[in-house]
Amino acid sequence: MDFNVKKLASDAGMFFTRAVQFTEEKLGQAEKTELDPHLENLIMKADGTKNWTEKILRQTEVLLQPNPSARIEEFIYDKLDKKIPSRTTNAELLGQYMLDAATEFGPETPYGSTLITVGEYQKRLGGAEREFLQTSAGSFLSPLRNFLEGDWRTISKEKRLLENRRLDLDICKARLKKAKQAEAKAAAAPDFQETRPRNYVLSASASALLSEEVDKAEHELRVAQTEFDRQAEVTRLLLEGISSTHLNHLRCLQDFAEAQATYYAQCHHYMQDLQRELHRSANAAGAPHTLATGCPAPISSAFPSGPSSPGATIPSSSNQRAGSLAIEQMQLPATGARKAKVLYDYDAHDASELSLLADELITVYTVPGMDPDWLIGERGNEKGKVPVTYLELLS
């Protein structure tokens, strides 16, 4: 083992000298070299970026995975550079329990068939949630984590080195100041009391030593100033890269918001389909929902394409009248007609709706008294209701 005692002693001495200088600066007993205002602003901006990135990262992890034990497990797998095992979501687990219960109660019974229907949609919701978690982890969490564990560590290292160079510079300034003061004091008060030649020789020798000490301190100061300036430039270049980091995080944030929008739109679509399935099953069985005691009636506004009264059995003639009424509403004066881009495929559930294909452009507008979650869409000669969540309105 190569153990350099001299280097260790030198490093320990330098550490102690810096500690003394730092303490005296804090106590106001020593002068401190101030950094360039531009560099100070860059350091403050970088520190703020680091602090808020840590907070956003931690809270996003809590949002995506509320279970602390699961987060710890994922952290360990990440540190070991191992693939995180696929974990069943709560919705998927609930859906599987419902399917298992339906098997025991009998899939042909009303309760069993409804358990199957709801369980399948719960599993779809769970699958959408897992896809959202994977997308968010890759497009949002990983870039933030890479910044904290990569770029920021490099910046922190250079900042610490700059602080050490500043302390060394101030130490050299203090040392030169003391040497000049000692030289000036010796020159201002010569010892004329001593008449023996030997004392004149000693006085001249002391003056020469003081002069050498001043020269040495000036040389060390020049070296320290050069090293400080060089390190300040290196640190400045790294800190100016924080603006690029903000642009990268902006793109990641947009991807995260888009993933959220896609996930919630899928959930909304699945719940609409589930509501229609439940209405269809209830109408086929001739049993209104209100007979199920203890279960609140679903809110019709959340599922605008469903019947206005979930508890009532609607005959086919009523459906025809509702369809004709919807068509008549489309003939009302349109307001705010504009273009829209379709985000996802959508299959019409009745004659009043318009099927959509992802990425196509359609014209949309609203009519008085229409549900705000829906618009009237036109594509050529085709016209019908379309859900707002499946559209991106263009200017």
pLDDT in tens, 6-15: 666 666 777 7
DSSP-assigned letter for residue 306: S
185 vs 135, residue with greater confidence: 135
What six digits make up the tokens of 183? 């030289």
Partners of 353 in the β-ladder: 385
- Supply the pTM of this predicted model: 0.62
Residue 346, strand partner residues: 356
Q: Kindly report, residue by residue over 331-382, the tens digit of the pLDDT.
A: 444 567 899 999 988 888 888 999 999 999 999 999 888 888 899 999 999 9
- How far apart CA 297 and CA 265 sit, in angstroms, is 23
Q: How far apart are CA 349 and CA 387, in angstroms?
A: 12
The model's pLDDT over 157-175, given as tens digits with 9 standing for 90+, comes to 999 999 999 999 999 998 8
Q: Do residues 387 and 352 make contact, with C-beta atoms less than 8 angstroms apart?
A: no
- Four-residue CA torsion sign, 273, 377, 316, 372: positive
Strand order in the sheet with 374-379: 382-387, 374-379, 361-366, 335-342, 391-393
Q: Is the pLDDT of residue 311 over 50?
A: no
Predicted pLDDT of residue 185: 82
Whole-angstrom CA distances from 158 to 54, 94, 196 are 20, 51, 58
304 neighbors 276 (Cβ within 8 angstroms): no
Number of Cβ atoms within 10 Å of the Cβ of 46: 22
Question: Residue 325 and residue 377: Cα distance in Å, rounded?
Answer: 16
Determine the pLDDT at residue 102: 94
Read off the pLDDT band of 203 (50, 70, 90). low
Q: How far apart are CA 144 and CA 55, in angstroms?
A: 11
pLDDT greater than 80 at residue 206: no
Average pLDDT of the residues in 225-250: 94
Question: Is residue 98 within 8 Å of residue 116, measured between CB atoms?
Answer: yes
Chain centroid to Cα 139, Å, comes to: 10
DSSP-derived letter for residue 138 is I
Provide the 8-state DSSP code for 353: B
Among the listed ranges 63-67, 102-106, 222-226, 297-301, which one has the minimum average pLDDT value? 297-301
Q: Dihedrals φ, ψ of 393, to 5°? A: -70, 130
